[in-house]
């Protein structure tokens, strides 16, 4: 099965479809809150000009909205679902936010963005290394990347065949990709977003609305890992 055979509709079962921020699962919000915290000290190159950022695989746009409100930036949200982009454009109308439909593989302008955020995206592309390369090369020197993916050491894709996922990744695999493309790893935050039966390694329940689902912990071996990288200036 190729990427074009996957279901990208909002009703596919894989996407967050809520609009109101209060209805977004806490683990999804926590990742964008973490990204905003990682980026809050960035300063534009030119006085009175915005940072230039991108939210790659932005889905229905709630995370892009959070970043656009928190940061002095112009933000571009990109997703492979035209339906998701239409919903995002209708509901999140921040003056510094623009959404665009773009299907990977695509290119991005080199050394263009001050920061890129890409949550729960890497597992959805057949060539994760190429995707990571495209993001890394599009970040300016001194720029930042925040990216998350399922942890294969906790949720083994062979035991949990998600129809929307190509790969899950270990912490080290993500760190190695960053090093390969000239990024310096800063920190990894882990979260529990599912309930895994330790005897079988299979996911037995979603954990999205539990009290601990939105808690990111440094170096915690959760089922979802969020990585923060910097590109040397």
**Residue 148 in domain:** yes
Contact 46, 119 (CB under 8 A): no
In the sheet with 73-79, reading across from the earlier edge strand, the strands are 97-101, 73-79, 51-56, 113-118, 139-150, 224-230, 184-191, 217-218
Q: Is residue 25 part of a domain?
A: no
Q: What is the pLDDT of residue 9?
A: 54
Instruction: Assess if residue 69 is contained within a domain.
Output: yes
pLDDT in tens, 122-167: 999 999 999 999 999 999 999 999 999 999 999 998 898 788 899 9
Note whether residue 66 is domain-resident. yes
Decide if 168 is inside a domain. yes
Q: 68: pLDDT confidence band, cut at 50, 70 and 90?
A: very high
The predicted structure's pLDDT at residue 160: 87
In a domain, 225, yes or no: yes
- 32-57 residue pLDDT tens: 999 999 999 998 887 889 999 999 99
C-alpha 171/C-alpha 209 separation (Å) is 24
Whether residue 176 lies inside any domain: the answer is yes
d(CA 132, CA 204): 30
Domain assignment present for residue 175? The answer is: yes
Q: What radius of gyration, in Å, describes the C-alpha atoms of the chain?
A: 17
Higher pLDDT, 194 or 110: 110
CATH number at residue 64: 3.40.50.150
Q: How many folded domains does the chain comprise?
A: 1
Contacts of residue 74, defined as CB under 8 A and 6 or more positions apart, other chains included, come to 50, 51, 52, 53, 96, 97, 98
How many Å apart are CA 77 and CA 132, to the nearest integer?
A: 17
Q: pLDDT per residue over 10-26, tens digit each?
A: 554 455 656 667 777 78
Collapsed DSSP state (helix, strand, coil) of residue 119:
coil
Q: In residues, how long is the chain? A: 233
Q: Which domain holds residue 111?
A: 58-191+217-231
pLDDT band at 87 (very low <50, low <70, confident <90, very high): very high
Does residue 78 have a pLDDT over 70? yes
List Cβ neighbours of 147 (8 Å cut-off, separation of 6 or more): 116, 117, 118, 119, 121, 122, 132, 135, 174, 226, 227, 229
Token pair for 91: 């509901």
Q: What is the pTM of this model?
A: 0.90
CB 137 within 8 A of CB 110: yes
Q: Exposed/middle/buried for 43, CB within 10 Å: 0-12, 13-18, 19+?
A: exposed
State the pairing for strand pair 224-230/184-191.
antiparallel
């Amino acid at each position: 099965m190729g990427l074009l055979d996957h279901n990208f509709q909002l009703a596919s079962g894989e996407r967050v479809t809520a609009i109101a921020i209060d209805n977004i699962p806490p683990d999804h919000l926590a990742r964008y809150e973490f990204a905003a915290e990682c980026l809050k000290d960035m300063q534009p190159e030119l006085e009175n000009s915005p940072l230039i950022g991108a939210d790659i695989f932005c889905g229905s746009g709630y995370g892009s909205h959070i970043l656009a409100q928190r940061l002095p930036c112009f933000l571009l949200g990109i997703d492979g679902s035209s339906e998701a982009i239409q919903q995002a454009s209708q509901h999140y109308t921040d003056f510094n936010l623009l959404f665009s439909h773009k299907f990977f593989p695509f290119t991005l302008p080199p050394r263009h963005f001050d920061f890129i955020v890409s949550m729960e995206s890497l597992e959805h592309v057949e060539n994760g290394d190429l995707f990571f390369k495209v993001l890394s090369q599009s970040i300016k020197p001194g720029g930042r990347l925040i990216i998350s993916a399922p942890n294969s050491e906790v949720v083994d894709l062979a035991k949990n065949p998600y129809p929307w996922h190509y790969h899950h990744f270990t912490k080290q695999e993500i760190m190695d990709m960053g090093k390969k493309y000239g990024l310096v790893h800063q920190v990894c935050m882990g979260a529990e977003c599912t309930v895994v039966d330790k005897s079988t390694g299979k996911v037995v329940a979603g954990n999205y609305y539990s009290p601990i689902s939105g808690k990111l912990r440094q170096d915690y071996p959760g089922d979802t890992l969020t990585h923060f990288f910097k590109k040397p200036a």
